[in-house]
Structure 1
Amino acid sequence: MMTNLFSSFDPSTNMFSLNWVSTFLGLLFIPSMYWLIPSRFNFMWIKIIMILHNEFKVLLGNKIKGSTLIFISLFSIIVFNNFLGLFPYIFTSSSHLVMTLSLSLPLWISFMIFGWLNNTIHMFAHLVPQGTPPVLMPFMVLIESISNIIRPGTLAVRLAANMIAGHLLLTLLGNTGPSMNLVLLNILIFTQLLLLILESAVAIIQSYVFAILSTLYSSEVN
């Protein structure tokens, strides 16, 4: 039984602590017939991947072959987890900072190590935007350094907050259902369906935003 609104986001609600296994449930939703034998699902997914590849390639360039693969994989795992969280009784792992930070922090650290070791002058140049007056240079270095350091946090919080907000709104509206009359209940169900469609769009958009921002951050260190 749900004791509070946030209990659905608690990883310890399951006595076997298997909630985090839902992160890998996406693999079970891709039967071998879909990726071994060509099908409509297969062609649709390849089309999505090619669109993403072209988007990321514009930002990354052709400096490293296959560099878009990691960002396509990142998009895929986030979008699977976001969609699975919309199903009843499935733990939403992408609404936890443990999950989102474990995606954004290693990426950001690897970008910083690569950038400072291989393109040190380029990284220093990024700290002072072009055309900055000499008097403001120390302040700009401080501001740019802070904005750079908080990048993994903003990526993680953006994804987790968007996932939590939609789920909480659906839960709040759902809890008012038993106390409503028939007319209001029909309106509530219609509103819930609209919110579910909105959450499906948010699941895709937030996955794309996370992947595209990671791509932008990586393109800055080259």
Structure 2
Amino acid sequence: MMATLFSSFDPSTNFNLSLNWLSTIIGLFIIPFSFWLIPSRLNFIWMKIIMTLHKEFKILIGYNKTQGSTLIFISLFSLIIFNNFLGLFPYIFTSTSHMTLTLSLALPLWLSFMIYGWINNTIHMFAHLVPQGTPPILMPFMVCIETISNLIRPGTLAIRLSANMIAGHLLMTLLGNTGSTLNLVMINFLIFTQILLLVLETAVSIIQSYVFAILSTLYSSEVN
């Protein structure tokens, strides 16, 4: 039972070619059409979200940094939130619940920050290993702790996103599988509960994409 349940999060469950990963690129067939149409309310809402994120990321990165530096983080937010929302529809594989995608986003991003920081701002990176005001006797321990916390950052980014996306979908699957054994009153209660969980998953989809993007921005601001 558990093997069958968790296999729903495996992209190669039904096809040998892993066609479920096609859900990741569905947006490429939808988004370009918006550039050829008169801007709608949805376009205005999305542009408002992008400008709000741009202002917030710019504060974290710094106003004097390279122009366009927030573009990668806004694109990261857009990619994650789009795939999170796609996963809420039936029979569409949630690609952000798989470590293959989340780690592919987090690891190159963190690695590029580290390479850039250690090559261009070596002294600054060494200074980050010892927080200000640390007693001299604790400095060796703080260097070890800060190094470990720095090394596990891509893993925490990837696991946080995938675990949060799996948890809600798994709970909805477990509750939905009990529907055939319930009476009419309990089925109505189950449907109401599933709707509430769907609303919660919608909020989680937005929050987790924002958390991933904002943490990536914070990590990039530390290397400058």
Same fold (TM > 0.5): yes
The reply on whether 1:12 has 2:8 as its aligned counterpart is no
How big is each residue's C-alpha offset from its partner over 1:63-88, in whole Å with a ceiling of 9 and x where there is no partner? 11000000000000000111111111
Deviates more, 1:121-130 or 1:35-44: 35-44
Q: Secondary structure at the match of 2:12?
A: helix
Q: State how 1:86-97 maps to structure 2 within 5 Å.
A: 86-97=88-99
Identical pairs, percent: 77
Displacement of 1:3 after TM fit?
Answer: 6.5
Displacement of 1:35 after TM fit?
Answer: 2.5
Quote the Cα distance in structure 2 between the aligned partners of 1:31 and 1:196: 28
Quote the Cα distance in structure 1 between the aligned partners of 2:220 and 2:177: 43
Amino acid at match of 2:9: F
Q: Secondary structure at the match of 1:4?
A: helix
2:190: which partner in 1?
188
How big is each residue's C-alpha offset from its partner over 1:79-112, in whole Å with a ceiling of 9 and x where there is no partner? 0111111111111110011110000000000000
1:216: which partner in 2?
218
Quote the Cα distance in structure 2 between the aligned partners of 1:180 and 1:163: 27
Quote the Cα distance in structure 2 between the aligned partners of 1:85 and 1:92: 4
1:105: which partner in 2?
107
Displacement of 1:194 after TM fit?
Answer: 0.4
1:202: which partner in 2?
204
Quote the Cα distance in structure 1 between the aligned partners of 2:125 and 2:32: 45
Amino acid at match of 2:52: I
Match of residue 67, structure 1, among 65, 69, 76: 69
Quote the Cα distance in structure 2 between the aligned partners of 1:26 and 1:188: 32
Q: Root-mean-square deviation (CA), in Å?
A: 1.2
Amino acid at match of 1:70: I
The reply on whether 1:35 has 2:50 as its aligned counterpart is no
How big is each residue's C-alpha offset from its partner over 1:175-211, in whole Å with a ceiling of 9 and x where there is no partner? 0001000000000000000000000000000000000
Q: State how 1:107-186 maps to structure 2 within 5 Å.
A: 107-186=109-188
TM-score by length of 2: 0.95
Q: Secondary structure at the match of 1:87?
A: coil
Quote the Cα distance in structure 2 between the aligned partners of 1:124 and 1:176: 55
| Contact 1:95–1:159 (Cα < 8 Å) also in 2 | yes
Q: Mark the runs of 5 or more structure 2 residues left unpaired by the alignment.
A: none
Number of aligned residue pairs: give it: 220
Amino acid at match of 2:209: S
| Contact 1:35–1:42 (Cα < 8 Å) also in 2 | no
Quote the Cα distance in structure 1 between the aligned partners of 2:6 and 2:27: 24
Quote the Cα distance in structure 2 between the aligned partners of 1:48 and 1:35: 17
Amino acid at match of 2:187: L
Quote the Cα distance in structure 2 between the aligned partners of 1:23 and 1:221: 31
Q: Secondary structure at the match of 1:113?
A: helix
Quote the Cα distance in structure 1 between the aligned partners of 2:134 and 2:178: 55
